[in-house]
Structure 1
Amino acid sequence: MSDLNDNSLNINLLKESVLKRLSESLDKANSKGWRKLGEIVKSDKRFKVSLDDMDMCSLKVLEIDGSPSRTLLKLIGDKGCMLGDLVEFLQIMDQTDALQCLKPSGIQILVQPLSVSVIAGHNLRLSCCAVSASHVQYQWFKKTVEVPNSFSADLVFSPVQVRDSGFYICRVNSGNTYEFSHWAQVDVLDVPPRYGLVSLVSEGRPKVVIQPQPQRLLVGDSLNLECGAIGRPLPQYQWYRNGVPIKKAIKRKYTVDLLLPEHRGRYRCEIFCNNERTWSNEVDVIIENPCHPEMKEKRISPEISGAMECSEDDFLTNEQDYSFEKPYATDKVALLIGNLTYRNHPQLKAPMVDVYDLTNLLRQLNFKVVSLLDLTESEMRNAVEEFLSLLHKGVYGLLYYAGHGYENFGNSFMVPVDAPNPYRSGNCLCVQSILKLMQEKETGLNVFLLDMCRKRNLHDEAMPNVMLKVTANIVFGYATCQDAEAFELSSSGFTNGVFIKFLKKRLLEDEKITVLLDSVAEDMGQFDPTKGKQALEIRSSLSERRSLTDPIRPGDYSDPTQAHNLLWSKAHELPENRILDFECGVQIKMDFAAEFSNVLVIYTSIVKKPEEMMSCQAHITNLPLDLDVDPKLMNKETLEETGSFLLSGSVPQHCLYTRLSSIQKLKEELAFTVCLQVLFNTLEDLVQWNMDVNIGKPLTAKLDLNRPTLKLNCPLTCHMPHSPSTSPSHSPASDCRFHSQEPNFPQQYANPYLNVCEPLHGAVGGYRGFQMHAGHTYQYESMPYSTFLTPPSIPIETTDDIDDMQNEFMNSLQLYNHP
């Protein structure tokens, strides 16, 4: 709705276009102009306008484009003048022209066009949807130039070209009034087509398609680094050098015109899009001194030519630059599994939050992440098989598991949600069996993060034997120590388990992975509620300085490998949003969000409703039986009512939401019915329309994890000295986690105290504080969970000043003022 409907709005917050028209009207008026307004305001003791203030406004006529009225409005706005006050003053003046400028247009823009970054050659649609008491018409402008034949709510580029980059705005006309949409920036990236590139981008999730390149330059040369990501809304950028953000380096391209030795270092770019973040590759920029013997024959730029002195240090510095080489990955892939809704065992809570947080962090490190909740045995095996298919020479592979588990004879077992009670090794997945298969891939780094119990399973007497090779670059991080139980904190809200609580604070650090985990172990050791009860255990055969922040230098892969990479990437790809047009004239917008790779949220909103309708509602029905969705949890007005607690800060409000979990169980494409129920002004009964919708196989349904699978059992055991399954720990022993007996999620902040319950074979948990059986109470710091969902406050990258562009546009409207 227009700001002009809110009388409590400070006049300084009115749109610039409104203030400009108002100022022009008052500047041109004589007896009813700005001086008269100043006299009336001066008589109101709330605003205290003095004679000096009036003289200052009067002097503005001596300036080019100076406006006494605009200065007076700014002055009284600073003193707290609201829109209602200004309207009252103008009514006393009988200033009808100025009041017309403040008259609400009656046009309500429901859907604003969003800034976006896309790849040239793809299709693009900018949408603006508005309602009014009378018929609305649309006009689109690129800056001040009207886009030809653009008279619909959607501005379509098919396909979009580099020349289409720029700023767009939509003018909505209704009778003699009009309203402007927000500005939308379109950034079109000229990226050569390559195999495996995602053709469409999900809202809110940036994907880097242009990586900065390492450079070796001379002092005095110019540096040009470029990074590009596709995303909606438009991704924002922040460049870093040696881990420190560079001031004002917030555009896609970072340039230094005249290089100095201190500009050498490691550069990378952080990309933001809503609450999602990711990183470009990190690259070396080497600045060579022209006095070095090998540089004598090279061209020296005019700015540094002339007499120069060189010392022995110059040669030593350059020799160090030549020898510097950071380890790199040929790719980075991660599989994250969180099991919490067990059929025959106690329910868990924190795996959901832990997997969600870890997913977002690993994506910032350029890992291809698939995150899954509540997998059966066959689904877990198929997910691991897909994960293994991506591992090749030099690839960094990371497997995280949170849920029930146990350890027998040095082998760790992950428990699926459908495991019987009691369970044995035949019902579970052996971690060492997975490691054996990973070793055969010649990976650059294998990281296992196991957030589970490691207590002996007395119901399982099998002694599996895994013939592990003596290989390097294997790291195990156990949330608890060997032969220790794991507990979960009974919580009154959502939180991480103790391991992820501290790991997520360190994960983005540019440290050797074992050094990073050692720091996490020390942090956990200082955590009073679990001190002496839970300690991180690290086992490693790492022989190189490998870190999760290492850059990616893609290797040469075969077509089947590229196909697997593409399929894995698409396992977190959302369907396109939809506009559903019903015969009755109602228009519904349908959007999608991914809470996890196998949890889809569908949300719908009505964006167009004819005047003759009193009300209308749209519901999703007839979902596939594979998904087993409770109808009582569908089409809810809040996400929390559907069972989704993690996306509330990243999706629009005032929609109807439906959460579909276990997407991996889909055997066919996801098809359902949208049922529209309308109540007309002239009818007493509801009228219903149905529309069938098919969105294909979304998210991880593309991986077909429900297919039959072969078990990867461990038939024999043969420990090897100093292998990851027997090597000494870096960290001390002892562990506990505190299990919640509540299977359902309680209301957030209901109770700040937590009760320690009996230990079970569970994993993850903890929130705000807990109470020991002996009655001792501990309190510790905690941030509300929603803080990480808050989008960063970063301005849109622009090549022009928005205010100047707005003024230029408004000045040009006299050419396009037709309805």
Structure 2
Amino acid sequence: MGEPGRGAAGALPLRRLAQPLLRRLSELLDRAVPGRGWRDLAQRAGSRGTVRLSPSDLEQCSLKVLEPEGSPSQSLLKLLGDRGCTVAELVELLQGLEHTEALQCLSLAGIKIVVQPDSQAVLAGQVVKLCCWATGHPFVRYQWFKQEKEIPHGTSPELVLNPVNVNDSGFYICRVNSESSFVFSRWARLEVCDVQGASHEGFIGLPENKLHICIQPQLQNLTVGDALVLECGAVGNPIPHYQWFRNGFPLANGSKNIYTVTSVDVEHQGTYWCRVFNDREDQDSEKIEVIIEELSDLQEPADLLERSNHRPVGLLYYAGHGYENYGNSFMVPVDVPNPYRSANCLCVQNILKLMQAKETGLNVFLLDMCRKRNEYDDTILILDALKVTANIVFGYATCQGAEAFEIQQSGLANGIFMKFLKDRLLEDKKITVLLDEVAEDMGKCHLTKGKQALEIRSSLSEKRALTDPIQQTASSAESLARNLQWAKAHELPESMYLEFKCGVQIQLGFAAEFSNVMIIYTRIVKKPPEIAVCRAYVTDFALDLDVDPKEANKGTPEETGSYLVSKDLPKHCLYTRLSSLQKLREHLIFTVCLHYEYPGIEDTMDERKEVNVGKPLIAKLGLHHGFKTKNCLQTCCVANNPFHNQMESSPVASQYYIPSHCQPNSCPGVYHPNRMCAGNIRQLEACSCSGTSRILATRHEVQNDSRPVGKSNVPVETTDDTVELEFLLSNSLRFPEQQQP
């Protein structure tokens, strides 16, 4: 790329700038300090040969001070514009004067994206265009990314993939950049459907963007215990959504293009089909039969018999504050006193003892916590001897006596251990082999070199993996009760429809992100024609819940902080995310407010309905004891312009999301290059991994912080690795001409 402002937009004539912007520039030049005023601008323009200005021209500008509303600078800018000066040339002149205010005035003229890239599903081999057009600033540049990676030569408003292939599937975004500010487009999801073994002839002649099913589900003949996998693929713009049906009824977990049942029974037999739809149209797939035969005792396969002999698996994953004294590891609850000792904590070795009592066949401990000593705890805990049993695996996030770090940035947090573990968690490998590979992955990250290394302890005597099927020969009353509790902790309120007096009907739906995090979404499903505009939102939640009104009733799930279930939620709704449902003491009661307007009437009409949805998800279990109802909220060192530090090397910090399990009377630990917050805070080091700036905090410091989520101008897309995208699309991104050699 060339110099800033030398593109087509930079060649915009100066006289084409909006009058309010010209007036603002004139004011800045009129009152500028010596060396940066309008005369200096005129002298520099003449010396560089940009525009020829005679002494009479300068005298004409100077005489404008005698007029009531006269401005020498405005007169000069008009002369420059009339004589062909471009915006790019003006920027160069102002840069020579080091007039940062005037340059900033141009930059803040505003970038407005008028054409957003569309999500779409296409066939492999087609030509795909993703478009992003911006106005409002005289010189903008474009930079396309596929998830976290910059696309080579992706610097035009249109990103063309010709031909598109399956590897092009993913999430795309465009960053529109000016001299000292930038905006992101919305995320565009591209699905590329590869119809193997078939030509594209059947799709020739279809209207562009037409919804069309290209992969039909196939007939299935299965035996009890087999896996059912049905696939349906479609192309179209807007991107298609899916809903599977069996015998005419929608399936609860059938909202993806692939429908699976891991182990079928005779009740799964029936007629299946998939309805594919978008905002414009819908289409049903072919109906197919799923036939399931029962096994006799003599037919039971050998591998099923072998799996039935496997004993249960004990698995503990813990992420949070912890310590290690005298070889024993302790997990620190959220409501411990300060200081705390072993009696206030949970000992990992005691949990292993309980697992051994259940004769578990494999015991796995994944501990994402610090292992430093607790100086306040001198108790030497004497435990009963553990049984000598094989198949015990410990995966410690860090070495003995060291800290475990967590990455915090832009509304997301992940332990270093979990960041790499989740990429391999479902791999069908021996557990120790899997953890070895996670350790190697962590070792390649410059972020934690010399600070944190995975430690593995194992007495594994069999080839056991996390993907091994869990078979339980008998269901005890205890396990049945526990399973019932687990099922209760995942019950959602039923979707409902609210009728308002004005005739508007609203759908109120619910989705679970975790057992203690619920998404509420509202959608207008009926609006009388005499109502011009209407909008519904939810409010008035219990103080027990962590609900930030600024993050509620958003147009996308991602804006609320929800990333894991966003792809499965219905579109064109308003979304609100409720967390900390374990703190809910009473029924969840909130208000649905409806605002609507009639044509020709300025006043907005309001209606309200109170909704009681009982105790959803984990709130059913009443697990609110010991949790604090108030959090210490603190916002620290937030800069308004994350891109500003690249231009003027100014210190910049982001707002960080910290889990709400903070300890009382604590002060947050925040990295800031030049500043310290009040209290005893240790500065942390900002490391570089893959060329991006990242922020580290120990598990101890994370435990002690409960800062609210801050809104970032860095977008987040809906893949599983949203943390990585937050880093790689942070303010460290630069355009090619800004890269250092």
TM bucket normalised to smaller: 0.3 to 0.5
Which is bigger in relative contact order (C-alpha 8 A, separation at least 6)? 1
TM-score of the pair, normalised by structure 1 = 0.44
Per the normalisation by structure 2, the TM-score is: 0.48
